[in-house]
Amino acid sequence: MASCYRVPLRVAQADARRLVRRLTRRGFLVSAARGAAPAHARVVAPSGSGPLGVDISLTGACNASCSYCAYAPQMCSRRDLPTAEWLAFFAELGRLPTRNVTLSGGEVFLRPDLWDLIDGIVEHGLRYSILTNGSRLDRRTVQRFDESRRRVRLDSIQVSLDGSTARVHERTRGAGTFGPAVRALRLLHDAGLPVTCRVTVNRHNVGDLANIAGFLLDNVGLRSFGTNEATPQGRGFVNRDEVTLRPEQRVQAMRTLSALARRYPGRVLAMAGPLAQARVFAAMRAARAGRAAAPPGAGRLTACGCVFARMAVLHDGAMVPCSLLPHLHMGRINRDSVSRVWRGHRYLQALRNRRAIALARVPGCETCEWARVCNGGCPALACELTGHTNRANPLDCYRLFLQETRGVAR
């Protein structure tokens, strides 16, 4: 390191010691006597033989009835796996390069064996995150994260909140859900746990976004919160005329969230939804005008890189490329090898090969003046709305956005 970065040896040594201390605090490293390996030390397969992360729907049970839930049809049609099956699966992941799992549902805290499952994750050297509506989180539940190595292996707990008041939040998430969500956020924050929040922008809260930001960041005191949007998938497809954004609301959400991101630098986040779209569209305009280079991967179907690092498992054990593509079954855990599926299943290969498809050859995009600076958007939504993953997502189409918002101040 000293010769590579041209710094004094003592500086490189000090940096290395700081890194080791930091990795140890976060649970990535465990000190042990020379020649002795800790009981939970991992011997993993080579990189590329398995996913780095796995999104796991632990249960189809849920005590909420969100009007835009994309997973709702799967919750009704599948059966939960027993404890032993999940523990066997975690053992397999522990032998692969997998670093973390994200636990969701349904509502994960409805599983009576959740703590056994978390302990199984920790035992096999994995890190974990949790997605929850917060309804089952009380002081005793929060305290249980201090048992064993649960806290040190926890990356985040995400609580969903869609309004700054019960009136707004409960329009889409159901009566009686606001208070428990806020209580959970405060309990987790006060306990020093890595709590995050996700706001799903929809037709009913688009006018409340500034209030939500102020509540989460200034009142509750969160470091940041994330945003996405209600999409026409699952129950969101059935209720699309009630929850998905109208064109003028999409412009309003983009404008509001962009202003909030400037007001709270680095604290209003987005990987999808109006804020992410606003940034992508701005980059496309700059590239087409020659003010900036084209975004990486522009001109091809490159929007989603998840299939190069992650996969999903539904609550009945079905392996799928993504929880938003639940019909693309690639096998079943504890019956089919995760490594074999990851390295060669035709669904994953097809999704990875999208990156070679030029938008100029994608039906509907051939003559688009924005094609050379576009990346095609989410393949799951493209599949939902067009029937094909090798299409562009209409909700991410800038040409269509301009047509639909003609006359709306942008």
Q: Rounded distance, CA 373 to CA 375, Å? A: 7
Confidence of residue 40 (pLDDT cuts 50, 70, 90): low
Scanning 124-177, the segments in alpha helix (DSSP H) are 139-143, 166-173
CA distances in angstroms from 108 to 14, 118, 281, 287, listed in the order given? 42, 11, 36, 43
C-alpha triplet 255, 261, 266: angle, nearest 5°: 160
Instruction: Pull the structure tokens for residue 77.
Output: 């049609």
| Mean pLDDT of all residues belonging to the chain | 91
Q: Are 316 and 78 in contact (CB under 8 A)?
A: yes
Tens of pLDDT, residue by residue over 191-243, are 999 999 999 999 999 999 999 999 999 999 999 999 999 999 999 999 999 99
What is 197-243 written as a DSSP string? EEEEE-TTTGGGHHHHHIIIIIII--S-EEEEE--SSTHHHHTHHHH
Beta bridge partners of 57: 104
Confidence of residue 19 (pLDDT cuts 50, 70, 90): confident
**Cβ-Cβ contacts under 8 Å for 209 (sequence gap 6 or more):** 199, 201, 253, 256, 257, 260
**Nearest residue to 402 (alpha-carbon basis) of 376, 375, 370:** 370
Tens of pLDDT, residue by residue over 105-136, are 999 999 999 999 999 999 999 999 999 999 99
Q: pLDDT at position 279, please?
A: 95
Residue 98, helix vs strand vs coil: coil
With tokens 């987005």, the residue in question is 270
Q: pLDDT at position 42, please?
A: 56
> What distance, in Å, lies between the first and last C-alpha atoms of the chain?
50
Q: Which residues of 366-377 are buried (b: 16+ CB within 10 A; e: fewer)?
A: eebebbbbbbbb
Q: Rounded distance, CA 125 to CA 45, Å? A: 13
Q: What number is the average pLDDT over the span 149-161?
A: 96
Q: Rounded distance, CA 350 to CA 357, Å? A: 11
Instruction: Pull the structure tokens for residue 267.
Output: 């604290």
Q: Are 154 and 145 in contact (CB under 8 A)?
A: yes
Q: What number is the average pLDDT over the span 306-335?
A: 96
Residue 310, helix vs strand vs coil: strand
Residue 300, helix vs strand vs coil: strand
Q: pLDDT at position 232, please?
A: 93
pTM confidence score: 0.87
Beta pairing class for 268-270 and 225-229: parallel
**Nearest residue to 376 (alpha-carbon basis) of 387, 365, 388:** 365
Q: Rounded distance, CA 44 to CA 51, Å? A: 12
Q: Torsion-angle region of residue 298: left (phi > 0), alpha (psi -120 to 50) or beta?
A: beta
